[in-house]
């Protein structure tokens, strides 16, 4: 998510990515963000999530699965990730599991619970 100004790495499933992508592709722009559309939603989410990313980086004790603000942030990051790819016709940029596991050991905050992400068939990943 670094190309969106967000340093947090969020793990998600291919099913979530496909479901969100399908919603963006099939639902009219007018239903998104109180009728303001997907582009407005992208601008708002990007700005808001950059601020939240900085907040969680400064307050690592707030990063846990029981903090609803944190889990909402992670879910919104996935939403922004898919929306950005959809709006700007970008490929999904995913991290290779080996690279993820090497870097998670150096992370300021590790909320992974030791879970290794899976490779997604048909989608190239950065190693």
pLDDT of residue 73: 94
User: Within the chain, which residues score under 70 in pLDDT?
Assistant: 95-127
pLDDT, tens only, 19-54: 999 999 999 999 999 999 999 999 999 999 999 999
pLDDT of residue 121: 53
d(CA 55, CA 72): 14
Beta-carbon contacts of residue 116 (< 8 Å; ≥ 6 apart): 97, 100, 101
Beta-carbon contacts of residue 61 (< 8 Å; ≥ 6 apart): none
């Amino acid at each position: 998510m670094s190309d969106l100004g967000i340093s947090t790495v969020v793990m998600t499933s291919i099913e979530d990515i496909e479901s969100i992508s399908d919603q963006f592709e099939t639902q009219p722009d007018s239903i998104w963000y109180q009728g303001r559309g997907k582009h407005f939603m992208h601008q708002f989410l990007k700005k808001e999530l950059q601020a939240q990313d900085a907040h969680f980086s400064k307050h690592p004790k707030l990063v846990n699965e029981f903090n609803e603000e944190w889990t909402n942030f992670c879910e919104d990051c996935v939403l922004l990730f898919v929306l950005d790819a959809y709006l700007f016709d970008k490929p999904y940029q995913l991290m290779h599991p080996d690279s993820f596991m090497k870097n998670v050991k150096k992370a300021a905050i590790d909320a992974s619970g030791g879970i290794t992400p899976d490779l997604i068939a048909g989608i190239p990943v950065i190693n």
